[in-house]
């Protein structure tokens, strides 16, 4: 978009230099790509974003300049309708005397003189036509030529130049047809019998545009057509003849030339999508299409048409004899409630209510009293028709920040709360998946519909919800447990020559409820099988998956979710029960040899676990508390002992923690052994005890009696036999 400094000054009082104005426009978001001095004036070229069609007019940019510089726009820009219709009565009267025709015969019988038919109001919401008779086409005056040529628009003749001037000034494209050529195409009857039709083109319909090129149209292209009589019947549609591609370009045989005496002046609103598609289809770009495809201001249509008619009357000696419009648009004005406190909160800088009001008013918004907006800190902002991009209060805040100046808003770091709270189920699920992936497991997704026969290998058997019309035997029931799908995935991966498989799945199972709808439950399933190679300092060893691997995975998951109280208890043939806070949440099982053989898994053990995530998340606690590192070094002492195999490790650790001395910070099992040197019903354990003080470095004399007391507890409570010293 190009405009000149002096042209802009017709609408707003500018007190700064062109260079300073270019800087201010760029900082406000209207980037000035070039500034050039020509013929005593300055030519601006700006980069207009697609959401700001109002910047494609001098008046639109005048509002922007007024807001940026803090001045008011003149009456010409603030009230374009009044400006364009405020023709002196004496001047109009003299024009009427010259032509001998009334200035407006709309009050007569306009339907018998000019008819406008729009086939689809969505394609063309508004159309206005003016018949101007007695014009004298010739060169434009020097001031008009200069104004257009400075912005790169070639002067053609006074009529075409006037339509271009009004388009650049108001943003509404206009088109002038040679009225006599329109009539001669169809009929020899008087002008009063002319009709204008806005319709879709027919497939393979042809038109020769002003550039002399024949173009083939289709039904997705909107055109303007003329006809001798408007019957309204589709059967008469062939009587119309295209005279323009709507919003893009007119035809060669209806253009205004030096021999033109009477014209039809068109001003309309076309569907932006249709104009854009037609432009791309035909490869035809024009200043009109550039504006129509972005959307024109509905309220500027009539004003631009009136302004062009006035200039034609003055510069070409004609007079307007008829004005005909389609149904007048009923546009509901948008209004947005703006809380001035939100402006300061979002931008991070205090802007007074008076400054906010001045900025918005300068941009053309209308502000109502705050009491009407139901709050002392609120404005009711009416959105003008030339700002279709404003739909939310945040849009208004962006406008305020642009004019206030981005450079005046201080740069600050966002406030970050160190407290992490994840309360929603999906956040817990995401966190759990990240933990499991970090432990080396791969996520799988299996089918919700399974073969009923797969359930018999999982004890206790759970009755499933049957499908009335299953597609196949493999999809006959909804899974009541997730383990069959994991077994299928393990089998598939082993058949692909994988040495080991470690997988998990988070999904829902479906529990059958008598006389009620099935209950869905979110569960976690884990499957381990095979021998995993592990690299240690001594070399590569083969580590076969076992119960302890699966137990360790669940322990890490519980601890990272903030669950402190959990327990694993053996249930003979049913596997190992998993409890959290004394509530059963799932179990760990190993698949029987018969089930493995049936699945096609040979000479390998399969370990499976399923836990209810809904119950796990109920006890999760993600609040973290920082504990400073100890200032003084600690001392580690191990205790090895032989104990009955039926005594659980959790019970041993619990008793020792309850009776631990003050300096004991942690206790953990570091070794487990069962062999020839150990009685058959016993096992050997090694417990590592870590002692530390926040006040001093501990000595051997302090640690020795503490270790002795723990040995005594093991001997007295569990009849443990202490090994070594």
* Domain of residue 492, residue span: 425-618
Q: At 234, list the tokens.
A: 């589709």
Q: What pTM was estimated for this model as a whole?
A: 0.58
- 3-state SS of 669-722? EEEEECCCCCCCCEEEEEEEEEECCCCCCCCHHHHHHHHHHHHHHHHHHHCCEE
Q: At 81, list the tokens.
A: 């309708």
Residue 254 belongs to some domain of the structure: yes
Same domain, 569 and 699: no
Residue 624 belongs to some domain of the structure: no
Same domain, 68 and 101: no
Same domain, 375 and 454: no
At 76, the pLDDT band (50, 70, 90 cuts) reads low
Q: Which of 325, 357, 381 is the last residue of a domain?
A: 325
Residue 238 belongs to some domain of the structure: yes
Same domain, 26 and 57: yes
Q: Which of 78, 93, 112 is the last residue of a domain?
A: 78
Same domain, 506 and 530: yes
User: Which tens digits make up the pLDDT trace of 646-668?
Assistant: 888 888 888 888 888 888 988 98
CATH number at 674 reads 3.30.70.380
At 725, the pLDDT band (50, 70, 90 cuts) reads low
Same domain, 263 and 339: no
Q: Quick one: CA dihedral 77, 78, 84, 90, positive or negative?
A: negative
Same domain, 242 and 166: yes
Same domain, 145 and 87: yes
Query: What is the pLDDT, as a whole number, of residue 298?
Result: 86
Least confident of 179-193, 319-333, 492-506: 179-193
Same domain, 51 and 154: no
Residue with more model confidence, 454 or 190: 454
CA neighbor of 80 nearest in space, from 310, 276, 376:
310
Same domain, 557 and 702: no
Check whether 80 has a pLDDT greater than 70: no
Grouping H, G, I as helix, E, B as strand and the rest as coil, residue 217 is coil
User: Which tens digits make up the pLDDT trace of 497-551?
Assistant: 999 999 999 999 999 888 888 899 999 999 999 998 887 776 788 889 998 899 9
Query: What is the pLDDT, as a whole number, of residue 421?
Result: 46
CATH number at 357 reads 3.30.56.10
Residue 413 belongs to some domain of the structure: no
Residue 33 belongs to some domain of the structure: yes
Q: For 412-417, what is the mean pLDDT? A: 70
CATH number at 99 reads 3.50.40.10
Structural domain count, the chain: 5
Q: For 3-17, what is the mean pLDDT? A: 92
Residue 330 belongs to some domain of the structure: no
Residue 625 belongs to some domain of the structure: no
Query: What is the pLDDT, as a whole number, of residue 155?
Result: 94
Same domain, 505 and 653: no
Residue with more model confidence, 417 or 651: 651
Q: For 561-586, what is the mean pLDDT? A: 87
CA neighbor of 617 nearest in space, from 561, 576, 690:
561
Cα–Cα dist 548/277, whole Å: 66
By residue count, the chain amounts to 725
Residue 410 belongs to some domain of the structure: no
What b/e sequence results for 238-266 when a residue is b if at least 16 CB atoms lie within 10 Å of its CB, and e otherwise? ebbbbbbbbbbbbbeebbbeeebebbbbb
Same domain, 273 and 134: yes
Q: Which of 46, 78, 110 is the last residue of a domain?
A: 78
User: Please, what is the average pLDDT of the chain?
Assistant: 85
Tally DSSP H helices, then E strands, for the chain: 22, 32
């Amino acid at each position: 978009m190009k405009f000149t400094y002096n042209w802009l000054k017709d609408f707003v009082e500018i007190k700064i230099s062109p260079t300073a104005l270019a800087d201010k426009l760029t900082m406000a978001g209207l980037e000035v790509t070039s500034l050039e001095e020509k013929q005593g004036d300055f030519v601006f070229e700006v980069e207009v974003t697609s959401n700001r069609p109002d910047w494609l007019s001098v008046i639109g940019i005048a509002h922007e300049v007024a807001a940026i510089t803090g001045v008011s726009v003149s009456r010409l820009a603030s009230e374009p309708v009044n400006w364009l219709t405020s023709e002196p009565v004496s001047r109009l009267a003299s024009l009427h005397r010259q032509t001998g025709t009334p200035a407006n015969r709309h009050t007569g019988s306009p339907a018998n003189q000019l008819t406008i038919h729009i086939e689809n109001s969505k394609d063309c919401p508004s159309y206005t036509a003016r018949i101007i008779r007695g014009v004298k086409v010739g060169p434009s005056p020097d001031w008009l030529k200069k104004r257009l040529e400075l912005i790169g628009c070639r002067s053609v003749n006074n009529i075409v130049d006037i339509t271009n001037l009004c388009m650049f000034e108001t943003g509404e494209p206009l088109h002038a047809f040679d009225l006599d050529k329109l009539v001669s195409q169809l009929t020899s009857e008087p002008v009063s019998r002319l009709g204008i039709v806005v319709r879709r083109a027919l497939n393979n319909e042809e038109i020769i545009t002003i550039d002399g090129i024949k173009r083939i149209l289709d039904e997705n292209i909107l055109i303007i057509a003329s006809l001798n009589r408007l019957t309204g019947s589709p059967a008469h549609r062939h009587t119309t003849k295209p005279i323009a591609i709507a919003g893009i370009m007119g035809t060669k045989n209806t253009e205004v030339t030096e021999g033109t005496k009477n014209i039809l002046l068109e001003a309309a609103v076309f569907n932006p999508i249709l104009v854009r598609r037609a432009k791309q289809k035909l490869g035809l770009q024009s200043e009109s299409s550039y504006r129509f495809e972005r959307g024109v201001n509905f309220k500027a249509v009539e004003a631009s048409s009136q302004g062009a008619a006035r200039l034609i009357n003055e510069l070409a000696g004609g007079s307007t004899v008829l004005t005909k419009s389609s149904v007048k648009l009923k546009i509901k004005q948008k209004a947005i409630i703006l809380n001035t406190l939100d402006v300061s909160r979002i931008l991070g800088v205090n802007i007074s209510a008076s400054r906010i009001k001045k900025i918005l008013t300068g941009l053309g918004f209308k502000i109502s009293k705050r009491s009407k907006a139901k709050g002392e800190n609120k404005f009711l902002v009416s959105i003008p028709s030339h700002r279709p991009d404003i739909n939310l209060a945040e849009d208004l805040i962006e406008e305020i920040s642009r004019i206030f100046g981005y450079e005046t808003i201080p740069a600050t770091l966002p406030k970050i709360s160190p407290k992490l709270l994840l309360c929603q189920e999906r956040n817990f699920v995401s966190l759990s998946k990240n933990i499991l992936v970090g432990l080396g497991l791969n996520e799988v997704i299996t089918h919700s519909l399974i073969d009923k026969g797969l359930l018999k290998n999982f004890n206790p058997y759970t009755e499933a919800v049957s499908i009335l019309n299953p597609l196949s035997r493999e999809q006959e029931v909804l899974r009541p447990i997730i383990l069959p799908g994991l077994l299928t995935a393990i089998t598939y991966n082993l058949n692909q020559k994988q040495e080991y498989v470690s997988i998990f799945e988070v999904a829902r199972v479906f529990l059958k409820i008598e006389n009620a709808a099935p209950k869905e439950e979110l569960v976690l399933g884990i499957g381990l099988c095979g021998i995993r190679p592990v690299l240690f300092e001594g070399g590569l060893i083969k580590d076969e998956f076992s119960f302890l691997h699966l137990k360790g995975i669940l322990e890490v998951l519980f601890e990272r979710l903030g669950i402190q109280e959990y327990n694993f208890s053996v249930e003979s043939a049913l596997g190992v029960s998993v409890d959290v806070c004394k509530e059963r949440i799932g179990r760990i099982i190993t698949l029987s040899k018969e089930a493995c053989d049936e699945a096609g898994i040979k000479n390998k053990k399969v370990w499976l676990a399923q836990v209810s995530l809904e119950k796990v998340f109920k006890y999760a606690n993600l609040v973290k508390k920082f504990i400073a590192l100890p200032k003084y070094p600690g001392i580690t002492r191990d205790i090895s002992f032989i104990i009955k195999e039926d005594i659980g490790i959790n019970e041993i650790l619990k008793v020792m923690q309850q009776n631990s001395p003050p300096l004991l910070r942690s206790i953990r099992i570091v070794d487990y052994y069962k062999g020839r040197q150990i009685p058959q019903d016993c096992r050997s354990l090694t417990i590592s005890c870590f002692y530390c003080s926040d006040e001093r470095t501990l000595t051997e004399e302090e640690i020795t009696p503490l270790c002795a007391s723990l040995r005594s507890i093991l001997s007295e409570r569990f009849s443990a036999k202490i090994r070594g010293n």
